[in-house]
Amino acid sequence: MPLAVIEPRRLYRQIADQLRQLIADGEYRVGSRLPTERELAEQLGVSRPTVREALIALEVEGRLRIRVGSGIYVIDQPPSAVVAADPPIEGSFEILRARAFVESAVAEEAARRVTPADVARLDRVLAQGRRRQRSRKAYLVFDRGFHTAIAETLDNAVLVRFVGELFDLRINPHFEQLARHTEDPSFRRFAHEEHVAIRNSIAAGDPAGARAAMHEHLKRSHQRFARDFGEPPPASGETEARPVKRLPATA
């Protein structure tokens, strides 16, 4: 018999497994409301973004409905419903943290190597972003183009592809569902202003400034996606406990 691949289980997936089992066992019945995100995080000993990712995964599966400002409800899943594929190994916030680490270094090096042609390329991409603010799909194309355009400054095709692939990890149903609950019309305006700040630091040949501007941009992106269910983003340095605790039965 061939060996099965051992897959790492992220905390948010462990939490989703627990909640899914509790729903299947009738501990949380159809129509009932789950504890709040904060309460679940406290019971499990993990960060609230981790709980949020688990809830989003179950919502994509059709087991929960999240009503911002009202609560998290168990819904009836028809027998014919097609359950979504396993959620991605990496959680949305893990992706954003990885991008902040990698792209901050890329922006820093770009400021050291930048040429007038590189600045002109960034300006062309930013101009496209201003024209495409109404469509989220078109804005994502621009957003990706801006970040890969910075990597192009380093004249390294591997880095360009890597930055693009990191960005593409967010293109999945779970990230999309998270965005539906957290985005508002101001997000793109704020992101565009942050892009301009990154561009200005790179154009000025300021490596430290470019690194800080990129890190700040992706940190704020993290906070915008963490602003869910009417609650503030997690405190800086908040960590996740291991192993994840078990949720108590509701009876």
Full pLDDT tens readout for the chain, 251 residues: 455 444 446 788 888 889 988 888 888 899 999 998 888 888 888 888 888 888 988 988 888 988 877 888 999 876 555 455 555 567 778 888 899 999 999 999 999 999 999 999 999 999 887 765 566 777 888 899 999 999 999 999 999 999 999 999 887 788 888 878 777 777 888 888 999 999 999 999 999 999 999 999 999 988 887 765 544 444 444 333 334 445 555 54
pLDDT the model gives residue 207? 98
> Does 153 map to a domain?
yes
> Does 71 map to a domain?
no
pLDDT the model gives residue 38? 87
> Does 35 map to a domain?
no
> Does 52 map to a domain?
no
> Does 214 map to a domain?
yes
Range of the domain at 139: 92-226
pLDDT the model gives residue 50? 85
> Does 14 map to a domain?
no
- Strand ranges for 46-190 from DSSP E: 64-67, 71-74
DSSP letter at 172 equals S
pLDDT the model gives residue 1? 46
Tell me if 93 sits within 8 A of 110, measured CB to CB: no
How many domains does one find in the chain?
Answer: 1
> Does 123 map to a domain?
yes
Alpha carbon distance 16, 7 (integer Å): 16
> Does 17 map to a domain?
no
Half-sphere exposure of 238 toward its Cβ, with a 13 Å CA cutoff? 15
pLDDT the model gives residue 129? 72
Alpha carbon distance 224, 244 (integer Å): 25
pLDDT the model gives residue 119? 97
* CATH number, position 187: 1.20.120.530
- Spatial CB neighbours of 164, under 8 Å, sequence gap ≥ 6: 144, 147, 148, 151
pLDDT the model gives residue 107? 98
pLDDT the model gives residue 184? 74
